Structure 1
Amino acid sequence: MRKKITAALAVLAIATLSACAAAPAAVSTQTLTGLGSESIRVGIAYDSAGRGDKSFNDAAGMGMDRARKELLVEATELTAKAETDEGRTATLRELAQGGNNPVIAVGFLYAGAIGTVAKEYPGTLFAIIDDSSVEARNVVSLLFSEEQGSYLVGVAAAKASKKGRVGFVGGVAVPLIKKFEAGYIAGARSVDPGVRVDVRYLSAPPDFSGFGSPDKGKAAAERMLAGGADVVYSAAGGSGAGVFEAVAAAPGTWAIGVDSDQYASAAEAVKPQILTSMLKRVDNGVFQEIQAFIKGDRSGGVKRYDLEVDGVGYATSNPALKPYQATMEAARYRILAGSVKVPTTP
């Protein structure tokens, strides 16, 4: 699909240059980035952790960076002004007032704000990641099959464990994170039905601090490791850094990251013990939504990213994963074939 779009854009560019060899860069950029002479300005609102979390927000940011490079869009990036509906509403409103269209909200915590601001700006398309509660003609929900990717890293955890005991650290006890837990447990038990899975959540609504508390993540992982777990999967946003720190201090144990390839971004002292990461391709979701907007798809609805469309997967950067990849791939094919239906609740 991208090749077709790139080719079409190239034809437009050649036509523009043929008509006016001395045309300024701004003219060709407008032609390439929109419909007709429309210039596309995209707004993206990160959750409170912002870019630099080496996880969820960074994955979204990668999609925006790719859109800048390949689609030549302009972009405005903001982080939630406060961890409240009012703060998130103000952030989205600022992006819409600034002429950005579409506006992309990173995370389900923006649901209330999207519902408010989408009514104020009916001519702006809003996209929200991980929530489908807002039904409006100018709101599109970008959802992911996190349970499928978590199933695959659960397979890796059970294969790598020498003690038959693994752990799961969830940031906040909400249905979204329970999808990660459910898939992970199912994947581990597909390899070893007797595997023991220790589960800990760092906070529960209305307390969402579990997504940004590395100290809590470290303490939870330390308790699991002390109890005998030797592989710990963290689906806790910025709190995952604490999980990695605890695992790095325990020789012979493994950590599994989430959202982005956290082996690639980890500190050297931690990197060797990050076995793999469950990839949630938020970057693909962000990029493809901007691409669809440019092509004229400006309607609301729901778009789902699963294994079939490379919406989720796992990282292979650490060579230590290689002995387990054949089993993980066999599991992936069973999911794609429909012979395995991964649960979404524990």
Structure 2
Amino acid sequence: MTLMKSLMGAAASLALTAGAALAEPALIFDLGGKFDKSFNEAAHNGAQRWVEETGGSYREIELQSEAQREQALRRFAEAGSNPIVTMGFAMADPLGQVAADYPDTKFVAVDVTWLDAPNVRQIGFAEHEGSYLVGMMAAMASKSDTVGFIGGMDIPLIRHFACGYAQGAKAVNPDITVVANMTGTTPAAWNDPVKGSELTKSQISQGADVIYAAAGGTGVGVLQTAADEGILSIGVDSNQNHLHPGKVLTSMLKRVDVAVYEAMKAGENLETGVFSMGLAEEGVGYALDDNNAPLVSDEMKAAVDAAREKIIAGEVSVASYYENDSCPALSF
């Protein structure tokens, strides 16, 4: 089990007197909590894998407010944690303020790729590529020719997911309707399953019979309501197929767990710089297991796997929302 330690007091004193002892890594979860069934939980799973393989321990904190971001970074750095792994794009500004003050500490920024910070490992994911594949699956599974997308906080990252999803759906059926909604414009949008449920019912009323949720903890409400209303859903980040067996078509895997595991495994020898994890690096993909196998036909799997290989080979190009702040397949 994870060894829970205070960010203050004894932990700081121990770090200062430990001498040659190896520094413990630290993990800062984003708002929504480490058991959000999605983004944060993937990070937790990666850290736990490292613990199980090495017998090591790490410090952690589940943020409760925006104000804690910089505070947590500084307290972990002062306590001697190395590397310090951070989750989510909102850690970019605090890292920009803090990393330079601790040049001998390595930091990891998941979902951040634009900092000028030599001691930060910045990891981005090609979410649009993985979302393209599950968009294809949604279109192939849909009987109504209408599919939905429910995002969390309305930011370019989540529009990036939606854009790939719409392109994949329209590659299968150019006439398909893609209904898209965002949960909100503040970080609270990541943890509002009630609003997720409401948006799901609204999209069902518009004809959607497959809905993809890229909304953190809010997605739990989307998947639950989709199952209750008799339509299919698509999970995100972690494999969420097991939450409603036979009702979740697939999950778009974003291998945050691998990014966190590899960072902790590297320890103080962590290589910094900007890294991208797409289909070619197996950083994104789709989930197939006993829970959704009856829903995924051989034809569906063959088509998606063929598209995956073509994207990796450069034969199919998936447009990125980041390129021009718009999406050719979807209007927001």
TM-score category of the 2 structures, normalised to the smaller one: 0.7 to 0.9
User: Which residue of structure 1 lines up, in the alignment, with residue 155 of structure 2?
Assistant: 174
Tell me the residue number matched to 2:135: 154
Matches within 5 A, 1:5-20: none
C-alpha displacement of 1:74: 2.3
Any stretches of 5+ residues in structure 1 without a counterpart?
1-36
How far does residue 293 in structure 1 lie from its aligned partner after superposition?
A: 3.7
Number of aligned residues: 299
Residue identity opposite 1:245 in structure 2 = Q
Q: CA RMSD for the aligned pairs?
A: 1.4
Name the counterpart of 1:61. Answer: 44
Deviations 1:153-189 (A, max 9, x none): 0010000000110000010111111110011001001
Name which one, 1 or 2, has greater alpha-carbon Rg: 1
Residue 322 of structure 2 is aligned to residue 339 of structure 1: no
- When residues 179 and 256 of structure 1 are mapped into structure 2, their CA distance, relative to the original with a 3 A threshold, is same
User: Where do residues 54-93 of structure 1 align in structure 2 (5 Å cutoff)?
Assistant: 54-82=37-65, 84=66, 86-93=67-74
Higher helix proportion (structure 1 or 2)? 1
Alignment deviations for residues 72-124 of structure 1 (CA, whole Å, 9 cap, x no partner): 43211111242x2x311111122112211000001111111111221221111
CA distance in 1 between counterparts of 2:253 and 2:317 reads 19
Counterpart residue identity of residue 70, structure 1: E
TM-score (norm 2): 0.87
- The reply on whether 1:98 has 2:62 as its aligned counterpart is no
Which of 241, 252, 256 aligns to 2:234? It is 256
1:38 CA drift (Å): 5.1
2:294 match: 320
- For the residues of structure 1 that align with 2:81 and 2:210, how far apart are their CA atoms? 43
- Tell me, in whole angstroms, the C-alpha distance in 2 between the residues paired with 1:144 and 1:65: 21
Match of 1:283 among 257, 260, 269: 257
Q: Distance in 2 between the 1:321 and 1:337 partners?
A: 28
User: Match of 2:147, as an amino acid?
Assistant: V
SS in 2 for 1:45: strand
Shift of 1:290: 2.5
Q: Does structure 2 conserve the Cα–Cα contact (< 8 Å) formed by 1:128 and 1:142?
A: yes
Q: What secondary structure, in the 3-state scheme, does the structure 2 residue paired with 1:272 have?
A: coil
- Name 2:187's counterpart in structure 1: 208
Between stretches 57-66 and 283-292, larger displacement belongs to 283-292
Distance 1:234 1:214 in 2: 11
Counterpart position of 1:32: none
Aligned to 2:17: none
Distance 1:336 1:170 in 2: 26
User: Does 1:191 pair with 2:172?
Assistant: yes
1:136 matched to 2:117? yes
Question: What is the identity percentage for the equivalent residue pairs of Structure 1 and Structure 2?
Answer: 38
Equivalent residue in structure 2 for 1:51, among 6, 13, 34 = 34
Give the whole-Å Cα distance in 2 for the aligned partners of 1:303 and 1:190. Answer: 28
Name 1:26's counterpart in structure 2: none
Q: Do the aligned partners of 1:135 and 1:301 also contact (CA within 8 Å) in 2?
A: no
Report matched runs for 1:299-318 at 5 Å.
300-317=272-289, 318=292
Decide which moves more: 239-248 or 101-110.
239-248
* TM-score normalised according to structure 1 size: 0.83
SS of 2:280's partner is helix
Kindly provide the CA deviation profile for residues 7-40 of structure 1, in whole angstroms up to 9, marking residues without a partner as x: xxxxxxxxxxxxxxxxxxxxxxxxxxxxxx6524
Q: Residues of 2 paired with 1:48 and 1:336: CA distance?
A: 33
